[in-house]
Structure 1
Amino acid sequence: MSLDTSASRTTPAADGERRTPTFIDSVTLIAGREISMRLRSKAFLISTGVLMLAVLASVVLGSVFSSQADLPKVAVVAGATDVVAGNAALEAVAAADQGEAEQMLRDGDVEAIVAPAASEPLGVVVYGLDSTPNSVVSALSVNPTVELLDPAAVDPMLAYFVAFGFGIVFFMSAITFGSTIAQSVVEEKQTRVVEILLSTVSARALLTGKVIGNSVLAFGQILAIAVLAILGLMLTGQRVLLGGLGTSVIWFVVFFAIGFVMLAALFAATAALVSRAEDIGSVTTPVTMLVMIPYFLVIFFNDNPLVLTIMSYVPFSAPVGMPMRVFLGTAEWWEPFVSLAILLATAALAVAIGERMYRNSLLKTGARVPFAEALRG
């Protein structure tokens, strides 16, 4: 990463004199540089576009598949019309007589024939071609009233897909931008550009600018995905799903914004321990695991209330655990606020520890800096 440091040494004041840049000036310069570099990166733009298209495609395909559930067609012989006419689960095709109905069945135009039969309890008889037309029989059957002792508030399959969506978006965005920060830190150490940067700005300003710049991009990406998903649901008429998903998406965006700042500081701090790009994976693995574990937990335990409750209060998994509970309707109104307060406190602590490690390790090249030494300074 290259940075024009000449503008950071002095900046023009209102009276025409030159002044030393403040902490805010330095952070703004570095954050702006991080954002402009990413926005000029073809890889970043392509990956963002692909992710947006995938979200839009999933919404559209969900609407298409749900609308293509065709009703079974039946040929209705005169005299059986009253039985089928009020049945919303069948599509009736009128037939003049039994012969015409049989011909439609043999041609594959209908799945079964419904003909009058005075001797039958319902007054009709169902004819199939070579097997029992179960869908037609089920539609004509008289079903008893069914009551559930513990009804599920949300369809289990829908809950799984929502959990997968929260998990994969959090995982992909955190890993992508976290890795970008780690690579940028190591690149600056390896090329010794950081020595030039630290002659003009403080380590705290450098770290803050990196975190803020990449956090803005990550937050913008998540916000764009959320808006695109909500608009897609509205345009495709899936307002029932939107009603239950909208609140949880808003909470997801809020939790992600804070959680990513925490993770970004840890990615930068751990990357500062090494001086070679080859060693990034070894030092950032613990932070990567903090991103991967919530992803797998929400996928495999999205129907486990105890696991989701624990996840919603653990800072590193709260960005996916609490929004999922909000969607399922199992969280009390005050729980997201308590979880958010815990996340804010943890993020502040993580940023403080990360800044100390980053400052103490940034100018140490060669062998990997021990964790204890980075903390002690």
Structure 2
Amino acid sequence: MSTSPSPQNPASAVWLVAEREIGSKLRSKAFLISTGILLLIALAGILIGGFAGKSPAPDAVAATSQTAAAVESLPNVTVTEVADRAAAERLVLDDEVTAAVLPAEGSPTGIVILAKENPPSSLVMGLSQSPEVEILEPATTNPFVRYIVAIGFGVIFLMAASTFGGTIAQSVVEEKQTRVVELLISAIPTRALLAGKVIGNTVLAMAQILLLAAIAVVGLIVTGQNELLAGIGAPVLWFAVFFLFGFILLASLYSAAAAMVSRQEDIGSTTMPLMMLVMAPYFLVIFFNDNPLVMTVLSYVPFSAPVAMPVRLFVGEAMWWEPLVSLVILLASCIGAILVGAKIYENSLLRMGARVKLGEALRG
């Protein structure tokens, strides 16, 4: 007959702590409400941006056989061919077309635009004579879309890191204040407690990321942005992979930083440097999203790679091997953070009272 695994078993202990972390969040109304609000904001932003970015309805324009070819070459215009000026005027006055383009002798352009009140500005600009322009280095993507994608990845990573990082820190200090931690580590190893906290919150954070990705896909499909959806698919997958290891790195450091204090009021003193490590790269990616050199550097820095590298992949500036190299660097940093964080966590968890200095926590 099989028996349930003992809590002293490291793997079982880790999973027990992870289940406890996940269960406590899913029972929290504040967490569920904040998650729902986040998903609604994301959906609203995608829908509003999608509908606002759609091309406006085409302008109905009347034209004679002499001007029809010039008008048909313009974007977002439907042409109704008429026999003469009288027919064109009648369509304009009856609001069947927004304007009419007719030949005009003596006019510098050889045409005249008839409108009931105001002619469409796009029609006027399209028929105006402009110098020929040659772009030597054309942009690979729309600068506005590039900026929005950078903000999207950045905001998601920043909010997840700050929200769940803060939750982990509060949980660690609360267990110290209430002395619950003494009961926990009498039953399970200290490192199993740390690993369970990190894994549990990572599962929740990844679940949020997957929900946001699903909402983004639905929103892009509803708004007819299939081209953008096709282009952002691979970067989103890379973002999920980078986010996973980037969050584990931060979660380990947040747990270690929180273990160095014994009161909720002191959490900020040890976690603020971590928040700055997250916020600084976020703002750098936003401000320098169109600077290839800065973005290349940021895509190899562990704290900014989860945002910078997917943006570079989206705009086509990264070679196929670059995300692999960046991921290796992030993995190495993640392992280092786990080892350092575990040492600080073990050496600080049972020390009450004054804040434990970093040097003391590392020495033990």
Does TM, normalized by the shorter one, top 0.5? Answer: yes
Unaligned runs of 5+ in 2: none
Residue from 280, 283, 289 that aligns with 1:293: 280
TM-superposed CA distance for 1:131, in Å, is 6.8
Is 1:214 aligned with 2:164?
no
Distance 1:188 1:99, change over 3 A: same
Q: Which amino acid aligns with 1:90?
A: V
Q: Which amino acid aligns with 2:325?
A: V
Residues 90 and 139, structure 1, Cα contact 8 Å, conserved in 2: no
TM-superposed CA distance for 1:323, in Å, is 0.9
Residue from 46, 65, 76 that aligns with 2:33: 46
Within 5 A, what are the aligned runs for 1:260-271?
A: 260-271=247-258
Residues 8 and 189, structure 2, Cα contact 8 Å, conserved in 1: no
Question: Residue 187 of structure 2: SS of its match in structure 1?
Answer: coil
Distance 1:306 1:360, change over 3 A: same
Q: Which residue of 2 aligns with 1:355?
A: 342
Range with greater deviation from structure 2 (250-259 or 312-321)? 312-321
- C-alpha distance in structure 2 between counterparts of 1:254 and 1:15, whole Å: 37
User: For residues 248-299 of structure 1, what are the alpha-carbon distances to aligned partners after superposition, in whole Å with 9 as ceiling and x for unaligned?
Assistant: 1111000000010010010010001111101111110011111111110111
- C-alpha distance in structure 2 between counterparts of 1:306 and 1:352, whole Å: 32
User: For residues 130-186 of structure 1, what are the alpha-carbon distances to aligned partners after superposition, in whole Å with 9 as ceiling and x for unaligned?
Assistant: 777542222234666543111111111110000000100000000000000000000
Within 5 A, what are the aligned runs for 1:361-376?
A: 361-376=348-363
User: For residues 60-107 of structure 1, what are the alpha-carbon distances to aligned partners after superposition, in whole Å with 9 as ceiling and x for unaligned?
Assistant: 223322335233444547875565356444344677875675577678
Question: Residue 70 of structure 1: SS of its match in structure 2?
Answer: coil
Q: Which residue of 1 aligns with 2:310?
A: 323
- C-alpha distance in structure 2 between counterparts of 1:83 and 1:285, whole Å: 62
Q: Which residue of 1 aligns with 2:147?
A: 160
Question: Residue 115 of structure 1: SS of its match in structure 2?
Answer: strand
Residues 74 and 112, structure 1, Cα contact 8 Å, conserved in 2: yes
Q: Which residue of 1 aligns with 2:265?
A: 278
Q: Which residue of 1 aligns with 2:190?
A: 203
Distance 1:324 1:85, change over 3 A: closer
Is 1:59 aligned with 2:59?
no
Distance 1:87 1:303, change over 3 A: closer
TM-superposed CA distance for 1:324, in Å, is 1.1
Residues 72 and 135, structure 1, Cα contact 8 Å, conserved in 2: no
Q: Which amino acid aligns with 2:260?
A: L
Residue from 101, 117, 122 that aligns with 1:114: 101
Q: Which residue of 2 aligns with 1:7?
A: none
Question: Residue 299 of structure 2: SS of its match in structure 1?
Answer: helix
Q: Which residue of 2 aligns with 1:5?
A: none
Q: Which amino acid aligns with 2:200?
A: G
Question: Residue 101 of structure 2: SS of its match in structure 1?
Answer: strand
- C-alpha distance in structure 2 between counterparts of 1:89 and 1:257, whole Å: 44
Distance 1:98 1:356, change over 3 A: same
Q: Which residue of 2 aligns with 1:192?
A: 179
Q: Which residue of 2 aligns with 1:4?
A: none
Residue from 267, 292, 297 that aligns with 1:310: 297
Q: Which residue of 1 aligns with 2:225?
A: 238
Is 1:338 aligned with 2:325?
yes
Range with greater deviation from structure 2 (43-52 or 178-187)? 43-52
TM-superposed CA distance for 1:356, in Å, is 0.7
Unaligned runs of 5+ in 1: 1-13
Is 1:138 aligned with 2:92?
no
- C-alpha distance in structure 2 between counterparts of 1:87 and 1:15, whole Å: 76
- C-alpha distance in structure 2 between counterparts of 1:309 and 1:15, whole Å: 54
User: For residues 214-269 of structure 1, what are the alpha-carbon distances to aligned partners after superposition, in whole Å with 9 as ceiling and x for unaligned?
Assistant: 01111111122122212332343212112221111111000000010010010010
Range with greater deviation from structure 2 (342-351 or 46-55)? 46-55
- C-alpha distance in structure 1 between counterparts of 2:142 and 2:55, whole Å: 19
Residues 6 and 12, structure 2, Cα contact 8 Å, conserved in 1: no
Distance 1:356 1:249, change over 3 A: same
Distance 1:255 1:90, change over 3 A: same
Is 1:173 aligned with 2:155?
no
Question: Residue 363 of structure 1: SS of its match in structure 2?
Answer: coil
- C-alpha distance in structure 2 between counterparts of 1:226 and 1:369, whole Å: 40
Q: Which residue of 2 aligns with 1:226?
A: 213
Q: Which amino acid aligns with 2:153?
A: F
Q: Which amino acid aligns with 1:203?
A: T
Q: Which residue of 2 aligns with 1:23?
A: 10
Question: Residue 266 of structure 1: SS of its match in structure 2?
Answer: helix
